[in-house]
Amino acid sequence: MLGSGILKGLAVTAKNFVGSYHNPARMVTQEYPDVQPQLPANYRNFPFLVTENATDPMGTMRCVACQICEKECPPQCIYIEKSKDKKPDANGKLQLYPAVFDIDTAVCMSCQLCVEVCPFDAIKMDHVFAIAATNRFSGLLLNREELAKPNTYFHEIRPDEAAEVDGRLAAERAAAEEKAKAAAAAKATAATATKPATGGAAAP
């Protein structure tokens, strides 16, 4: 019968209309911003720099200014200047740190290649998505103070990945300590065997 196809279609829309009042499968709209979205842990938007310590973020940054992310960033939105001096990192090893670390979020496309190439777990992807600014240039340019977020925040947004990273870093730290201890012990035995060396040579 001509028109039966249309009637069947109208029955479907009627079912969907009624269902949108009581059937959760058909109630899909979220009332943003009254209801904030539940972001999955893997959600990525804009990078941030991980610091060990919330009270001294600039002093405990994991970044050692190796500039790998700057080179690999496809839209070239990262700008790093190395420091002139060195500071001890979490392992006690003297390292450079970024004197300037800028990310232009107007250019960043959140591809997370910087995270993948970082050998120090220093840069990770954030969960922020509402970062509107009134100034097009400096408002969207984040410097290292704005980018630095403590490790506790990383644990908050990505608990699994943060725990895995912490475990790996702790293992590395332990291995480094072990090595330093062994080196010190070897040195001590060497020192007792021969004459003590003049001056205090720094441990490697």
Q: How far is the CB of 168 from other proteins (least distance, A)?
A: 17
Relative to beta strand 98-104, strand 141-142 is: antiparallel
Q: Which member of 52, 53, 72, 169 binds other proteins (CB under 8 A)?
A: 72
Q: Which of 6, 35, 193, 202 binds other proteins (CB under 8 A)?
A: 6
Question: What is the Cα–Cα distance from 114 to 81, expressed in whole angstroms?
Answer: 16
> HSE on the CB side for 74, CA within 13 Å?
8
176 touches other proteins (CB under 8 A): no
Report the phi/psi class of residue 133: left, alpha or beta, with left for phi > 0 and alpha for psi in -120 to 50: beta
Contacting other proteins (CB under 8 A), which of 78, 123, 162, 165? 78
Site string for other proteins, 28-47 (x = CB under 8 A): x-----------xxxxx---
| Tokens (6 digits) for 97 | 């740190």
Whether residue 121 contacts residue 165, with contact meaning beta carbons closer than 8 Å, is answered with: yes
Find out whether the peptide bond into 196 is cis, omega within 30 degrees of 0.
Answer: no
Which residues contact other proteins by CB under 8 A?
2-6, 8-9, 11-13, 16, 26, 28, 40-44, 68, 70, 72-74, 76-79, 100, 102-104, 106-107, 109-113, 116-117, 125, 137-138, 141, 143-144
